[in-house]
Structure 1
Amino acid sequence: MAESTPSVTPRVFEHTSRKDWGRSVLVLEIPDKRTFLFEDGAERSFRPDYWHKMEIIEVQANEAVRIDRIARRNQAPAPGSTRKSKAPPKKPDITFGQQVAYFMTLYPVGFEDESYIKSERGVAGAKGREKLKDAAIERAEDLLSQKNLDELTGNRSYEEIHQMIYEFLTSTKSTTQKAEATRFKNLPEDSRETVALALRELLYGERTYPIRFDSFVAALDVEDGATWPLTTLLSALVYPADHLFVKPTFLKKQALILDIDPKYDTTPNSTTYMQFLEAAKKTMELLQEAGQRPRDLWDVHVFICKTLSPKAIKEATGVA
């Protein structure tokens, strides 16, 4: 029999030797076959002699429901079903070449442009630099280092970690909104240890990054739920060349321009994040091929945001 819908907390499974597939839910069980939907979007079936490879794992109830919902959303309608497949999202009316051309009207020297560095990265000694990207990355290298987090968690200094995260949320320009930071500040006290340990695992754990990301999201017991900026800022500051700060409105557009369907969900999740990351890394490659020199994924983030606002698309394409 198939796993029930999330009126009851779903069981969550993981393949013992293919952690890269992510977690899964059981959607079909018959005498000679079990079929699972995985977080990577794939449906996989196993014969009885492989059933032992699929182990039940413990996750928080809200995370189990999220995994079930994401998996079933990606499931194709059954034969004869009246449910229609969701129409693919519309690609923005701008090409990548037009994005680059528009960016160059803003910053004629590209990412090395003096005005770009002054407004986005920060100039040493300049007023306001402490709010910009390079200063935030420098603080993260120190405060969010494995050594510092291990020391703080070892001393059970969970309140200090909570305050440190809050300061990152409020001190980096053009990232998280004040309301997001306030909701995090008001995180229930009995959740702060869980968040601190989940952050340490997110940044330095040994499990695959998608699993660590989803665990961090599940730990954030904030009012109205965690947001994409809240869940992606810290990794992007610690690993600016490898991880991405997500403002989903813009990243959805960029992914579609590059023919990547991000399977978007308003709730942060690893499936969508990894596709956003794929889009950002592809954007970096295309920028380099176009003669640009982005330093890291923060430069890619700024490029995407500067060129994909409604005003930018209108000005870049001349289409009202």
Structure 2
Amino acid sequence: MAKAKAAKPGDKPRPGRTLKKLSGAERCRRKFLRSFPGGFEDETYFEWERNYKWEAHERWNEALNPTTFRSLLKAEDFLEIAARAVRIESRTNLLFSFEKMALRDAVKSVDGARLFATGLYALLHGPGAEQEKFERWRDVVAELPRKQTRVLTWPVVTVFGFVALPEKHIFLKPNVTRIAANAYGADFQYQSRPNWSSYFSLLQFAEKVRRDLEDMRPRDMIDLQSFIWVQGSDEY
């Protein structure tokens, strides 16, 4: 076998050599910046990824802020709480159409709406450790009435926390997130049934991304979820 020629001083690196030396995190950063050269301040980024999520959060603060949420619960207006939550989510593309339909069907009855409203308030504003609150909410979603398609999916379990409190909660799309974690080199411990260990693993992934992108100043989980989405979605 012929020996490889030794590189001479001043030789340019072969095409692709530098790219291969990049870490997964660095390659993901480059991919994001190819689509959005201005990073999280890029106008196209706002238009394609951030604006509609932030607008959903603002609508939530208008319709179901903690004070309003408590008042509606006290009045036992569970159907109104559920209707407002579903209406806010429906104006986003976060859930698949079958999930939107399953959710609407699940909260049409008073019993379903009561279960949904009380469980969601406990997740967002109730006492207790985050793991305990997440698992209780997961169990609530599992108990919601089911007409045809299943309600218990990762997107349904995580979408309302993400919309209501994007400084704290993140949204999980399983396939895209697994692809992104693999590309990034993150140890995302995914299980198909919603559970705290997988959700906490995603929070750790998001925190690693936040630290790695500190110079780009991600504001909240909307920016971090959007970055992850870009890595795993075939749209990019």
The two structures have a TM-score, normalised by structure 1, of 0.60
Contact 1:228–1:268 (CA under 8 A) maintained in structure 2: yes
Name 2:187's counterpart in structure 1.
260
- Residue 116 of structure 2: which of 185, 195, 198 is its match? 195
> Distance in 2 between the 1:303 and 1:250 partners?
11
> Distance in 1 between the 2:226 and 2:60 partners?
19
Matched, 1:95 2:15: no
Structure 1 pair 225–114 and aligned structure 2 pair: CA distance change class (3 A) = closer
1:310 is displaced (CA, Å) by: 5.5
> Distance in 1 between the 2:188 and 2:230 partners?
21
> Distance in 1 between the 2:98 and 2:73 partners?
27
RMSD: 2.0
> Distance in 2 between the 1:297 and 1:258 partners?
19
Name 2:159's counterpart in structure 1.
233
Q: Deviations over 1:45-104 (max 9, x none)?
A: xxxxxxxxxxxxxxxxxxxxxxxxxxxxxxxxxxxxxxxxxxxxxxxxx71100111111
> Distance in 1 between the 2:88 and 2:138 partners?
17
Name 1:293's counterpart in structure 2.
217
- Residue 302 of structure 1: which of 222, 226, 229 is its match? 226
1:145 is displaced (CA, Å) by: 1.5
Higher strand share: 1
- Residue 137 of structure 1: which of 57, 63, 69 is its match? 57
Q: Deviations over 1:248-303 (max 9, x none)?
A: 222234445444241x2222112211111111111111111xx3122211111111
1:169 is displaced (CA, Å) by: 2.4
> Distance in 2 between the 1:133 and 1:191 partners?
26
Higher helix share: 2
Q: Letter of the 1:307 partner, please give it.
A: Q
The DSSP-based 3-state class of the residue aligned with 2:166 is: coil
Identity over the aligned pairs, expressed in percent?
26
Structure 1 pair 161–109 and aligned structure 2 pair: CA distance change class (3 A) = same
> Distance in 2 between the 1:267 and 1:307 partners?
23
- Structure 1 runs (4+) greater than 6 angstroms displaced: none
Q: Deviations over 1:187-210 (max 9, x none)?
A: 162222111110110001111121
Q: Letter of the 1:195 partner, please give it.
A: F
Matches within 5 A, 1:1-320: 95-122=24-51, 132-172=52-92, 174-187=93-106, 189=109, 190-220=111-141, 221=144, 222=146, 223-256=149-182, 257-262=184-189, 264-288=190-214, 291-309=215-233
The two structures have a TM-score, normalised by structure 2, of 0.80
Contact 1:225–1:267 (CA under 8 A) maintained in structure 2: no
The DSSP-based 3-state class of the residue aligned with 1:176 is: coil
The DSSP-based 3-state class of the residue aligned with 2:216 is: coil
> Distance in 2 between the 1:259 and 1:138 partners?
31
Contact 1:244–1:301 (CA under 8 A) maintained in structure 2: yes
Contact 1:284–1:297 (CA under 8 A) maintained in structure 2: no
> Distance in 2 between the 1:309 and 1:142 partners?
31
Contact 2:60–2:164 (CA under 8 A) maintained in structure 1: yes
Contact 2:86–2:104 (CA under 8 A) maintained in structure 1: yes
